Amino acid sequence: MPFANVHIIEHPVIQTKLTELRDYTADHRKFRTLLDEIAGLMVYEVTRDWPTMPKPIQTPLEKTIGHVLARPVTLVPILRAGLGMADGVLKLLPDARLGHLGVYRNETTLEPVAYYQKLPPDVADTEVLLIDPMLATGGSGTAAISFLKKAGVKHMRFVCLVAAPEGIQMLHAHHPEVPIYCAAVDRQLNEKAYILPGLGDAGDRLFGT
């Protein structure tokens, strides 16, 4: 049953890299490279319908009207694992500013614990991409979106690699208007709220901790 406002990017190159990333034999070096590459590839689809505005320019031959992004872009990784997607996205959107939201799951209660927030001052009117490879219970993503809304953000998209049905349901129970972009919707969470089949602990695999 498809989820409303969820975009699954099933590009064959992304799926190939995601399969390599899931494989437990990928060490932190390979994991980092793959996460960076997949994030960059996802940007095309995630930004496909962003608004543009006309921009008059002068080519070497004559005046013409080009088109550029209508709003500045802010990239907001959820720490830690979201950092692994930031450079890949920035390669395509090099003018983006970066905000950071530190959120981790309490391993016992599974509740999100917010420990750091820093956003660019003009974030409210920008196009925000909130990035985190994993959407599991949805607690971290939901808390991050609530924080961005309090900061006045009006245009945002949540970009992850692997989403669990439980996480999609929680995120959209609180923030139904925020589109979710992912490379896969996996089967379910296990008893410790890890995604199955998933890819394990994204932060630990990325940073080798």
Tell me the catalytic residues: 105, 109, 201, 204
Q: What is the dihedral of CA 12, 32, 209, 74, to 10 degrees?
A: -100
The reply to whether 171 sits near ligand URA by the rule CB under 6 A is no
Residue 28 identity (one-letter amino acid): H
Q: How would you list the strands of the sheet with 162-163, edge to edge? A: 134-135, 162-163, 184-185
Nearest to 128 by CA among 83, 84, 71: 71
Sign of CA dihedral 78, 80, 84, 90: positive
The reply to whether 194 sits near ligand URA by the rule CB under 6 A is yes
d(CA 67, CA 65): 7
In the complex with ligand PRP, the residue whose CB is nearer, 90 or 134, is 134
The reply to whether 183 sits near ligand URA by the rule CB under 6 A is no
The reply to whether 136 sits near ligand URA by the rule CB under 6 A is yes
In the complex with ligand PRP, the residue whose CB is nearer, 9 or 134, is 134
Given ligand PRP, ligand URA, none, residue 167, with its beta carbon under 5 to 8 Å by kind, binds ligand PRP
d(CA 182, CA 162): 6
Least distance from C-beta 176 to ligand URA, angstroms?
22
Site residues for ligand URA per CB under 6 A: 134, 136, 194-195, 198, 201-203
Q: Interface residues with ligand PRP (CB under 6 A)?
A: 78-81, 103-105, 112, 132-141, 167, 193, 201-203
